[in-house]
Amino acid sequence: MDWSHSRAPGSTEPERVAMTRPSSGVNPIVVSTERPPLIAAIVLLGCGVLCGVTGFTRWARNERAMRLRNPLVAPSSLPVLSVILLLIAGMFMEPTGIILIMAPILFPIAMRLGIDPVHFGIIMVVNMEVGMCHPPVGLNLYVASGITKMGITELTVAVWPWLLSMLGFLVVVTYWPGLSLWFPRLLGMI
């Protein structure tokens, strides 16, 4: 049916009528809430593919890939390298995506080098929290900006002292494993 032309009753001239699509009945709010889960599903799909490929090729377990014999990648330098890598990733990604992508790569290397799995997990979690608070993608900055009605630049300046204290705590947790392991040891879990 052509809705672009119609005749008014008793008229010989065709009248232009705006052509509109029939309403689908879906509320625009519902449509706008479908996007973030779809984006998260795409990220999770990519993470799953990357995990499958690294697991299938056993890339993280290969000594040549890890370069264990290279003096630049000594057991004492892995925490520093992983903290720097995770902080850089935290600038651009959400914590869930970082953990899904980086954990299958870094965890076997850390285990091979003798780093406690609980300690390494705590290092990753503290890293993710720091990543949530520093620009440009710090999710907590955007939440605080919405609550306080401050701009991101203004809020970033206000957050610097707290961010520096979090970075200091990250350094302490990274190089003092006893701090993160005393409670699990007290409970007899390790």
Report residue 132: phi and psi, to 5°.
Answer: -75, -15
What pLDDT does 40 receive? 66
- Among 121, 81, 71, 114, smallest CA distance to 99 is for 121
What pLDDT does 168 receive? 93
What pLDDT does 12 receive? 58
Q: Are 31 and 37 in contact (CB under 8 A)?
A: no
Between 90 and 118, residue with greater pLDDT: 118
Question: Picking from 56-65, 146-155, 173-182, which range would have the lowest pLDDT averaged per residue?
Answer: 56-65
Length of the chain equals 190
Confidence of residue 62 (pLDDT cuts 50, 70, 90): low
pTM: 0.62
Domain ranges of the chain: 29-186
What pLDDT does 51 receive? 65
